Amino acid sequence: MEQQQNTPGSLSWRLSSHPITLLCFLAFRISSLLVYLFGMLFTENLVMIFIITILLLAADFYYLKNIAGRRLVGLRWWNEVDPQSGDSHWVFESSDPATKTINATDSRFFWLAMYAQPVLWIALAILALVRLKFIWLPLVAIALVLTVTNTLAFSRCDKFSQASNMAGSALYGRSLAGSIASNMAGRLFGR
Which residues 6+ apart lie within 8 Å of 67 measured at CB? 21, 24
Domain presence at residue 77: yes
Q: Is residue 5 part of a domain?
A: no
Model pTM? 0.75
Domain extent at residue 116: 13-157
Q: Identify whether 2 is part of a domain.
A: no
What confidence tens digit (pLDDT) does each residue in 151-188 have?
999 999 888 777 655 544 444 545 555 555 555 555 54
Q: Domain for residue 185, yes or no?
A: no
Assess if residue 62 is contained within a domain: yes
Residue 3: band (very low, low, confident or very high) from pLDDT cuts 50, 70, 90: very low
The stretch 12-33 carries a mean pLDDT of 87
pLDDT of residue 171: 46
Give the end-to-end CA distance of the chain in Å, rounded to a whole number. Answer: 31
pLDDT in tens, 55-87: 999 999 999 999 999 998 889 888 889 889 888
Number of separate domains in the chain: 1
Residue 1 within a domain: no
Model confidence at 140: pLDDT above 60: yes
CB-CB contact of 61 with 150 (8 Å): yes
Does a structural domain hold residue 131? yes
Does any domain span residue 80?
Answer: yes
